[in-house]
Amino acid sequence: MIFETKRLLIRKAEEKDTLFFFKLWTDREVMKFVGFPRGLNITEEEIRKSILKQSEGEYNKPLVIQLKDTGETIGECMLGLPDKNGISETDVKLFPIFQGKGYGKEVKKGLVDYLFTHTECTGIKATPNKLNIASQKMQESVGARYAGEGSSKFPEHMREYTEEVHFYIYILYRKDWECHRK
């Protein structure tokens, strides 16, 4: 286990999670805001192989979100190592049935606390889709502030099954996180 929150456990992915990731990443509702309106174009075997190849650490890879009380897997998240500017990134994806219950905000707070206590990052960035109001509110719930916007396109060979993503940039700086913790 990497960390836990009041209701959730965050752990590394294991081979047994292959089908879970396949279902999550091919779910149109989960993937529509990240540029894959028909889900990610990937096979279970590709997912299984990528899980088996993962390094031992907890950073820059998909982590599993589980309910504490039932052990049910409800989504995935990611802890990004700080870049050359000291900025880490996070990501959260939940199955639609678990959205709107506060799990996203709970995971995001856990990711923020973990990164600020286990790395030397100076800030944490997220890039929610402009149409994903829930993700924007999740960023704001931990004190992240709007810092700009952008868009990203996939390479030409992927354009048949992807869409350009227009996003906002939110950043929470360590100094602001420290002030809110007091």
pLDDT at residue 182, rounded to an integer: 60
The yes-or-no verdict on residue 67 having pLDDT over 80 is yes
If one counts the domains in the chain, the total is 1
Q: What are phi and psi of 165, to 5 degrees?
A: -110, 125
Render the chain in DSSP notation, one character per residue. Answer: --EE-SSEEEEE--GGGHHHHHHHHT-HHHHGGGT-TT-----HHHHHHHHHH--SSSBSS-EEEEETTT--EEEEEEEPPP-TTSEEEEEEEE-GGGTTSSHHHHHHHHHHHHHHHHS--SEEEE--BTT-HHHHHHHHHTT-EEEEEEEE---GGGGGG---EEEEEEEEEHHHHHHHH-
Summarize the confidence of residues 51-60 as an average pLDDT: 94
CA-derived radius of gyration, the chain: 16
CATH number for the domain that contains residue 99: 3.40.630.30
The per-residue pLDDT for 176 is 94
pLDDT of residue 180: 79
Q: Confidence class of residue 134 from pLDDT cuts 50, 70 and 90?
A: very high
Q: What is the mean pLDDT of residues 136-156?
A: 97
User: Which residue bears the tokens 């944490």?
Assistant: 124
pTM for this prediction: 0.95
pLDDT over 70 at 11, yes or no: yes
Domain containing 128 equals 3-181
Q: What is the pLDDT of residues 97-132, one digit of tens each?
A: 999 999 999 999 999 999 999 999 999 999 999 999
